[in-house]
């Protein structure tokens, strides 16, 4: 079987299981890396030993993170089970060393500076990621019908792990969001008049509800300026803004505002969670708003705030006789 045939079968298996386009791209990347590692030998000839050698190579020679090694493993598990119909069991490769890395978090003032250096719908998107705790992809995929102004909520469909959830809609964004919907409505009406107006539909809804692909409710909240051809059916549709457009805008805003140079789109989501925790919001609520499967993932923000050691006095404080919270210098007092 040629590599082209393998890619076609892989693509069909991905679509059958409704995996996200980003997941498809990531999985195929690691499958290609695996094929190159084994000098392009077809994976049908391989088994557990070949996969273990590859994963050990990633950990020992490439020094990848545990998360990256897990993604590569998941890609290969999918390939062997869903495409080759040969499930892998009992894999025992060298595991990448875990690294405890705290997320980058901005202060409220820095968030304000960053967003202040952005404009238009890109500014609104940054406000949504910070104000609602959305991932970049979740913000991009928002549709008009996902906004519930009555209950001040936003529905996130097919988030990480193919899960749906409901998050809050900030009151201060309602006017801006309403104006954004008006812009989408005007643009969509113009598309319909030109004989277009189609949008990519999730799962098989386009077949189940043939007219829904032209309804305003399913239009992306942040549509692309240009129409593009859908690779799945060859039809001309209006997709959402490309992720790099927002990423570049945030990067420029980081430089212009002078905030932490490591800040990215995802930093706004981290800041959302950390600031909620500072306000006294309980971890379970934050977990639900973020869409975390495990509370342990959410607990990382207690480390960001230092709450995991709350109430512990440094021995130097006891040694010098300073009470907790007492200013010890004019700089600190200021």
- Annotated catalytic residues are 135, 160, 266, 269, 292, 301
The secondary structure of residue 63, as a DSSP letter, is -
Stated as kind and residue range, the H or E segment containing 237 is: strand 236-237
Rounded (10°) CA dihedral 76, 77, 80, 81:
-150
95: tokens are 């595991």
Whole-Å CA distances, 209 to 17, 202, 205, 218: 20, 11, 6, 11
Stated as kind and residue range, the H or E segment containing 167 is: strand 165-168
Name residue, tokens 């098989």.
Answer: 204
Buried b (16+ CB within 10 A) or exposed e, 6-20: beeebeebbeeeebe
76: tokens are 């290969």
Return the number of other C-beta atoms located less than 10 Å from residue 120's C-beta: 9
Distance between CA atoms of 133 and 289, rounded to whole angstroms?
Answer: 7
Residues in contact with 206: Cβ distance below 8 Å, sequence separation at least 6, in sequence order: 212, 213
């Amino acid at each position: 079987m040629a590599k082209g045939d393998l890619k076609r079968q892989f693509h069909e298996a991905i679509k059958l299981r409704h995996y996200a386009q980003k997941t498809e791209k990531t999985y195929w990347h690691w499958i290609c890396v695996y094929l190159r590692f084994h000098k392009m030998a077809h994976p049908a000839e391989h088994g557990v030993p070949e996969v273990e050698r590859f994963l050990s190579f990633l950990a020992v020679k490439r020094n990848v993170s545990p998360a990256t090694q897990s993604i590569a493993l998941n890609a290969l598990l999918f390939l062997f089970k869903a495409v080759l119909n040969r499930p892998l069991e009992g894999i025992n490769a060298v595991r990448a060393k875990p690294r405890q890395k705290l997320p980058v978090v901005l202060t409220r003032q820095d968030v304000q500076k960053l967003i202040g250096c952005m404009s238009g719908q890109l500014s609104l998107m940054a406000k949504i990621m910070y104000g609602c705790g959305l991932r970049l992809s979740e913000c991009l995929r928002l549709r008009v019908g996902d906004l519930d102004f009555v209950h001040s909520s936003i529905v996130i469909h097919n988030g990480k792990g193919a899960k749906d959830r409901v998050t809050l809609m900030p009151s201060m964004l309602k006017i801006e969001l309403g104006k954004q919907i008006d812009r989408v409505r005007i643009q969509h009406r113009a598309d319909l008049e030109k004989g277009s107006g189609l949008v990519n539909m999730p799962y098989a809804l386009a077949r189940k509800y043939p007219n829904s692909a032209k309804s305003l409710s399913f239009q992306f909240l942040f549509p692309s300026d240009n129409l593009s051809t859908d690779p799945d059916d060859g039809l001309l549709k209006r997709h959402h803004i490309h992720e790099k457009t927002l990423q570049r805008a945030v990067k420029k805003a980081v430089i212009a505002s002078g905030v932490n140079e490591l800040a990215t789109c995802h930093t706004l989501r981290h800041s959302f969670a950390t600031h909620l925790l500072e306000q006294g919001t309980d971890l379970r609520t934050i977990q639900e708003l973020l869409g975390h499967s495990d509370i342990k993932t959410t607990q990382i923000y207690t480390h960001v705030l230092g709450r995991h050691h709350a109430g512990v006095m440094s021995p130097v404080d006891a040694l010098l006789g300073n009470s907790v919270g007492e200013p010890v210098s004019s700089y600190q007092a200021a």
